[in-house]
Structure 1
Amino acid sequence: MDARDAAGVNPGGFHVLALNGGSSSLKFGLFGARGCEMLPRVTGEAQAIGSSAGLLRVRDGHGGTTLHEETVAIADSVQAFRRIARLLAGLDVPAPDAIGHRIVHGGPQLRTHARIDTAVMAQLEAASIYAPLHVPAALSVVRAAQARYPSLPQVACLDTAFHAGLPEVARTLPVDRALQADGVQRYGFHGLSCASILAQWPEAPPRLVIAHLGSGASVTAARDGRSIDTSMGMTPNGGVMMATRSGDLDPGVLAWLVRERGMDARGLERLVDHRSGLLGVSGISGDLRRLRQMERKEPAAKLAIDMFVLSVRKQIAAMAAVLHGIDALVFTGGIGEHDAQARADICEGLGWAGIRLDASRNRGGALRIGARDAACEVRVMASEEERQICRHVHVLLAGAGDQREDSASPPLQSPSSFDACNQAGSG
């Protein structure tokens, strides 16, 4: 990596390393800030973490050239990060000036992106109880990054921050009011993805629905760039059916499992996190691509796909009702960006809302896939979570100050920090 000047800053500008951990992957990107633009230098990912056949890949900033690829056993997210850091050290790219971490859940107190210090780390550790599948692994990477880059600022970029300003009618869950004091409320997730869509499309019409469809999936209603409702709830398990997560489920089912099957909390978590959704219904796989290959000969595979499609369609319809109509629908995430058949099937039942696809444009991978005379614009857009992490880090460290707030303050809405950049046009 290149040398720094006496002040410890890269002479070529300010560079942020974004780390985006999933349940079995760690995506990363090194971006350089130039005004409101975030320019990628290298990107990559570690896949199949926890298996003996993990994949580690690094691409150049344009995403076209593979700089490094290997199949290797990757025990956990920390080992993945250490391999990534060693690879970056050997490439002709700038050293990072800051590290940004995607954190799925900040808990009831931490509702905005924040530089990580002892107090913030304690809040994040306390928030692990709300997302045990995601937060502990992310914090292990934070600790590893602090050890590897002890002099660099580390920033927590929260998926929940985008939804921090949800109206009370959407935020409040229909349970005993006393539980709200314990943090029982709707938080919403995939906020970095939603924010990245708005950063790419600052002139988006006022009534926008974003369908982030991947192994985790959610649907969000945004009015004038602000989240006003979203399908996920207190945890990332609610809402639409997902790869291995159940989505919304009759709570009586859980009570029955406790009463009649003797399941404890750990057993219930294993069920709704790992043995439900597409995998649970099909008994084959949680990967929609594999189910596509088998749907003609395996009725359970077809049923799982049909249930997924219906659950997404119902949530889009619900968000259209929340918005009093819909001006635009965006598909993003792995399934949303790459599965044309899923997009077509989901939209097939939404003609009443003005949603109609152009079949050839949908199959051809166009940005705008809606019929030209349809009332609702439909787009396919890439989820740029790593780039969005870098935007948040740059804004926070470049003079906006620490965005943390005490619990008595009204929550800030994440996109507000980017109004100036969005008006100027984001990279």
Structure 2
Amino acid sequence: VAVLRRRVPEVRAVVEAAGGFFARGGSVDWSAVLAGGRRVELPTYAFERERYWLDAPAGVGDVTAVGLGATGHPLLGAVVELAGSDRMVFSGRVSLASQGWLADHAVYGTVVVPGAALVELVLRAGDEVGCGRLEELTLQAPLVVPQVGAVRLQVSVGEADAEGRRAVGIHSRPHDPAGVGTGEWTAHADGVLVEADVDVVPVACVEVWPPQGAGVVGVGDFYEVLAGRGFDYGPVFRGLRRVWRRGDEVFAEVALPEEVADAADAFGLHPALLDAALHAMSIASAEEGSGTPVPFAWSGVSLHAVGARALRVRIAPDGRGGVTVDLFDEAGLPVASVESLILREVSPEQLAVRDDADSLFGVEWVSAVGGGSVEADSWAVLGAGGGLLAEGGRVFADVDALVASADELPGVVVLECVPVEGGSVPDVVRGQLAGVLGVV
């Protein structure tokens, strides 16, 4: 639970941290936090641990009616082929209202689209253009999902070069209710797609399962340990079931929870299932008390089968500072493979880019442009005058006295605004403004 957060007042951050700690089962002495407070009974219905609201998922409608191609993908709803080339752009809209399962993937209190989902998006786009192998994909910036609102998502696939390789990139920017984007596009990943090599035979699963000579690693409170490090995964992303280790090799079994298992067919490989497979790598770091790295660079990713709901996992060092990942179904048949995956640590600062994104207002200092000097033959001062009275000027009690006594209005009128003692600041400001507007 983060206590110090950039651009968040300390008192608010500490109180929110106490509330988050309490909501996760921690003990908080609220009598010390809220001195003089008393306990009251909560209303029953809204706070019961059952949900009765009917889900009404927001569909994308018939995108073909506006000249786009439909993909049938949960995150990429439409595709368009750019005229005069074989470039293609896949687009979608991501929000917690439409893809509520993403809320179960929070890092340092921020909902982030997992790197496994970005890989799945690129594989889906590659399949559309006949490039079924992801040669490389490097993640540049986290794709943060706001608590309120949505982000526009684009996966762009470039033209094929002489060797059939295509550049691919993932970008996003905030989405407003009018259906258009606002602000700059953020680059989240870039890579290269190539045609799948049909001559390559996928790695076969180990003949005996569980693997011979592998020791059991207890999963136990693994996800609670991750939560203590800022990785707060909800039920959808808690798919790790069993783990074994044999030297530097890690084996695991993962499965999709029932609430999202039916959605497996909509993806090539459900992001929550692939993400859970990678959690097995964190078991070692959890045992050693080290940090929890996240995927950074993927190489040689191939999808051999679609619609998996459970996986057997083998992870081993690749000899280059990364790991290889091989995924199989429950019968031992290949599902997906990753030749090399490099991990990196992520910091709260990298996810703090949207701390102030929930407000339409900002505070900026705008320098006023000076009006230059003012020359006038006559002056008038409304009010006490004092040092404001210029040579040749006259003092009037108020604007009515000025208008009544002057044959011709002076070139410059100075209104003296003296702060009124007493009263609240908003009332004083409002009264002064009303007085000035009345004179004008």
TM-score class normalised by the smaller sequence? under 0.3
TM-score under structure 1 normalisation? 0.23
Pick 1 or 2: higher relative contact order, CA cutoff 8 A, min separation 6: 1
* Structure with greater proportional helix content: 1
Structure showing greater Rg? 2
TM-score under structure 2 normalisation? 0.23
* Structure with greater proportional strand content: 2
